[in-house]
Structure 1
Amino acid sequence: MKKIESISIQQLDNRQFVQNRLKSDILLSANLGFDDTLFKHPSRMDAFAAIFCVSGKAEVQVNLKKYTLESGTMALHVPENIIQINSCENLIIYPFIISSAFIQKLHIETKDLINLYMAAKTVPVFSLQYADIHILEKYYYLMESILQSETGYKDNMTIGLTTSFLYKVYDILVRKLKEKEYVRKVPERCETVFEDFIKELNLFHGTEHSLSFFARRLNFTPNYLSSRVKEYSGRTATEWIEESVILEAKTMLKHTDLTIQEIAYKLNFPTQTFFGKYFKRITGLSPKQYRTS
Structure 2
Amino acid sequence: MKELISPVNDVLFSIKRETDCDLKKPQRFANYSVIFIPAGTGHYHADFGEFEFKGPTILFSTPLQHIFLSSQEELKFSLLQFHGDFYCIEFHQKEVSCNGLLFNNIYVAPLLSLSDQEAETFKRLIADIEEELAKRSPDRMVLIAFLQLFLARASSIKMHAIETEKTSVVRDEKMEMFVRLLEENYLNFRKPNDYADMLSMSPNNFSKRSIRYFKKPPSSLIQERIILEAKKKLHLTRLSIKEISHSLNFEDEYYFSRYFKKITKVSPQLYREKTGISIVADLK
State TM-score, norm by structure 1.
0.52
Q: Note if contact 1:53-1:72 (Cα within 8 Å) is conserved in structure 2.
A: yes
Q: CA separation of 1:67/1:246 partners in 2, compared to 1, >3 Å: closer, same or farther?
A: farther
Q: Is 1:140 matched with 2:140?
A: no
1:68-97 residue CA offsets vs partner (Å, 9 max, x unmatched): 344212111112533233456311001111
Flag the 1:112–1:126 CA change in 2: closer, same or farther, 3 A. closer
* Equivalent in the alignment of 1:60: 44
Q: 1:48 and 2:35 equivalent?
A: no
Identity, in percent, stands at 16
Higher helix fraction: Structure 1 or Structure 2?
1
Q: Distance in 2 between matches of 1:65 and 1:246?
A: 18
Match of 1:170 among 152, 155, 161: 155
Q: Give 2:51's aligned amino acid.
A: Y
Partner residue in 1 for 2:246: 213
User: What displacement does 1:132 show?
Assistant: 1.2
Asked if residue 77 in structure 1 is aligned to residue 30 in structure 2, the reply is: no
Q: Deviations over 1:216-240 (max 9, x none)?
A: 99xxxxxxxxxxxxxxxxxxxxxxx
1:170 and 1:247 map into 2 onto residues whose CA distance is 31
* Conserved? CA contact 1:26–1:98, under 8 Å: yes
The answer to whether the Cα contact below 8 Å between 1:60 and 1:86 also exists between their aligned partners in 2 is yes
> For residue 157 of structure 1, what is the amino acid of its counterpart?
V
Matched, 1:95 2:79: yes
2:15 counterpart letter in structure 1: L
**Cα shift at 1:60:** 2.7
Contact 1:33 1:90 in 2 (8 A): no
Which runs of 5 or more structure 1 residues have no equivalent in the other structure? Answer: 1-18, 183-194, 218-241, 253-265, 268-293
Deviation at 1:124, TM superposition (A): 0.8
Q: Please tell me whether the aligned partners of residues 90 and 99 of structure 2 are also in contact (alpha carbons under 8 angstroms).
A: no
The SS at the match of 1:138 is helix
Residue 29 of structure 1 deviates from its aligned partner by 4.0
Structure 2 length normalisation: TM-score? 0.53
Aligned twin of 1:156: 141
Give the corresponding residue for 1:283. none
Q: 1:198 to 1:64 in 2, by over 3 A?
A: closer
Query: Aligned with 1:103: secondary structure?
Result: coil
Residue identity opposite 1:199 in structure 2: K
Say if 2:164 is the partner of 1:131: no
Partners in 2 of 1:107 and 1:157 — Cα distance? 18
- Aligned pairs, number: 191
Residue 145 of structure 1: how far off its partner (Å): 1.0
1:200 aligns with 2:185: no
CA spacing shift, 1:48–1:84, aligned 2, 3 Å: same
